Structure 1
Amino acid sequence: MVFKKMLSAFGVGGPTVDTVLANPNTRPGLALDGRVNLVGGEAPAAIEQIAVGLVTRVEIESGDSEYAGIMEFHRMPVSGAFELAPKQQLSIPFQLPVPWETPITDVYGQRLHGMTMGLRTEVAVARAVDKSDLDQVAVHPLPVQERILEAFARLGFRFKGADLERGHIRGVHQTLPFYQEIEYFAAPQYAQVINEVELTFVTSQQGIDVILECDKRGGFLSAGHDVFGRYTVSHADADRVDWAQVVDGWLQETTSRYGGLRAQGFGAPQGYPPQHGYPTHGYPMQHGHGHGHSRGPGMGGIVAGAALGAVGGMVAGEMIEDAVEGDFAEDWGFGEE
């Protein structure tokens, strides 16, 4: 009997958990529906709490080094305390709201290189090893986001990769402690002026802040440097404008103040709607300890809370080391540098 209790404390013969999502595909601002299925072990188990949370891979800077960590950025309780009998089968439904700022992982059914997302289920068991399950989640773009991504493709930009950077963008209201960068190689018509462009969406129910970072080429008497532009769009604008024309206008405005596209003979787009954005001079991202690019130094305002339905004592944005297990970590590259 003592030996069995010891095995139970190490998770042997304890309850098992399997979470099943009704649909692993979602969009920012929607929800993930699913069920947490439990099967009791060899002995009664005191379940303290069941919670689900979204986890992803985030790039973190520390001094001059950068490494990847796993971050749980959104968490919700599914059940409180109860007793699970031996071999008892239990299925608990849940609906997890997906934060508006949740990064995009998939476009047209294809996973963006560098992006990972999962739903982690944690079953806290009294006096025993906690049980967990991890399920892949695909986050697809909202209509406006999709139109902007399409515009970059129409203009000839080639997708390079995407990642999440821990930090805040100065002057932009964020509820999550990181932001997504979608990176492109410059299209041929822009290649004399810029090397690459990084696109960031900061989304809310009201609209989307679009931040562009252009890696400008150096001239005969000037060094290359990064320039920034910020533009605000409405969700209702998705099918109202020519987004290729709008994005082209953003790129011109972002770079022209620093001797950019217009200096190379590119004219302002005809009919460019001014309500579709406002440029901001020198718009740096804030990181914990600076960044490899030319960005503002100093500690950014890292938000650690503001997750819908956050559990008391559980902080959104917490770095977790045991969030991923087995093949999931290997297949998705969680924890890799």
Structure 2
Amino acid sequence: MVFKRLLGAFGVGAPSVDTVLATPGVRPGETMRGEVRLKGGDFDADIEYIALGLVTRVEAEHGEGEQTGLMEFYRTEVSGPFRLGTGEERVLPFEFPVPWETPVTEVWNEPLHGMAMGVRTELAIAKAVDKGDLDAIRVNPLPSQDVVLQAFARLGFQFKGADLEVGSLYGVDQHLPFYQEIEFYPPPAYAHVVNEIELTFVASPAGLDIVLEADARGGHSGYSGDSFGRWRASHEEALHRDWAAEINGWLTALAQHGGHGGYGGHHDPYDHDSHHGGHDLGTVAAAGAAGVVGGMIAAEVIDEIGDMFEGEEEEED
């Protein structure tokens, strides 16, 4: 597949490239390691650069509905210019830090439905660029995130799925132009209180912001609609808190007082200027952190990253 891609970009007899990950499973804040393996083609090639990017599928809401596409949210250069000789083989080792806000794609060895993430290799020769290799990665939760997820499991909640929304969270030091929502179905004990709950983590070296959004049924208060809970803790503190009790307390307050329960904070944490403000992916990304590449990607590429998580890769003509 990789070789066929490079034929299309650079012509018959062009070099081939393959990226091998030493750490296909990582946590936010850890280091991704591996190597890029090059093999020269039928002619000497002047390589301009080789870059790696973390790519994921995101959703953006706007006035006309919703767009889904791929976004590169981290980028690093493996090599600058060099000449690759005819038939020459070269191995370029690399390592780079995985951003702390990187979304979780797998929990307890089970993939989160709706998540798709990979490392894309970009090779430039003579001003032509080929995004020629895409490798799936698994992102597991931090221990501080895992204890919160375990609390939901102990309370009987079941994973529904997850997605990434373009936008920002109010009052949170957020660096990526999107956030993750992990969705849960409630157990019978809470079914009269909420239809579903969405969990958002924003991690940093210092700790963890936790935001819960409940689609409330109303309970004794008769209130229905979205209600929010917010917590902040260091990674060490999070390990020692009784999150099942905290979540249960928030839901109890929600059942009694509806949107005015205020357990852990109840104001809407989402920045609606970017969450629902009519921006497309390219606009939001252009206003975000340097190095983030936004915009919609061709449909066949979206299909490819989806197939990638099923262990399949599409070949292009």
TM-score range, shorter chain: 0.7 to 0.9
Q: How does 1:142-153 map to 2 (within 5 A)?
A: 142-153=142-153
Local SS of the residue matching 2:258: coil
Structure 2 match to 1:283? 268
For residue 99 of structure 2, what is the amino acid of its counterpart?
Answer: P
1:193 CA drift (Å) = 1.5
1:227 CA drift (Å) = 0.8
1:170 CA drift (Å) = 1.6
Change (3 A) 1:324 1:221: same
Structure 1 match to 2:314? none
Structure 1 match to 2:39? 39
1:237 CA drift (Å) = 2.3
Change (3 A) 1:157 1:72: same
Structure 1's unaligned 5+ residue stretches are 1-6, 263-277, 292-296
8 Å CA contact 1:46, 1:83 repeated in 2: yes
8 Å CA contact 1:58, 1:163 repeated in 2: yes
For residue 330 of structure 1, what is the amino acid of its counterpart?
Answer: D
Structure 1 match to 2:180? 180
Structure 2 match to 1:85? 85
Structure 2 match to 1:138? 138
8 Å CA contact 1:71, 1:318 repeated in 2: yes
Structure 2's unaligned 5+ residue stretches are 1-6, 311-317
The alignment status of 1:319 with 2:295, answered yes or no, reads yes
Inter-partner Cα distance in structure 2 for 1:28 and 1:147:
15
Local SS of the residue matching 2:231: strand
For residue 112 of structure 1, what is the amino acid of its counterpart?
Answer: L
Local SS of the residue matching 2:153: helix
8 Å CA contact 2:166, 2:275 repeated in 1: no
Structure 2 match to 1:249? 249
Q: Deviations over 1:237-261 (max 9, x none)?
A: 2442333112223434566542688
Structure 2 match to 1:105? 105
Q: Please identify the structure whose Cα radius of gyration is greater.
A: 1
Deviates more, 1:145-154 or 1:215-224: 215-224
1:131 CA drift (Å) = 4.8
Q: TM-score normalised to the size of structure 2?
A: 0.85
For residue 295 of structure 2, what is the amino acid of its counterpart?
Answer: M
Identity %: 50
Inter-partner Cα distance in structure 2 for 1:299 and 1:9:
32
The alignment status of 1:155 with 2:131, answered yes or no, reads no
Inter-partner Cα distance in structure 2 for 1:31 and 1:305:
27
Change (3 A) 1:305 1:95: farther
Inter-partner Cα distance in structure 1 for 2:200 and 2:159:
14
1:128 CA drift (Å) = 3.8
Inter-partner Cα distance in structure 2 for 1:185 and 1:32:
33
Local SS of the residue matching 2:144: helix
8 Å CA contact 2:122, 2:129 repeated in 1: no
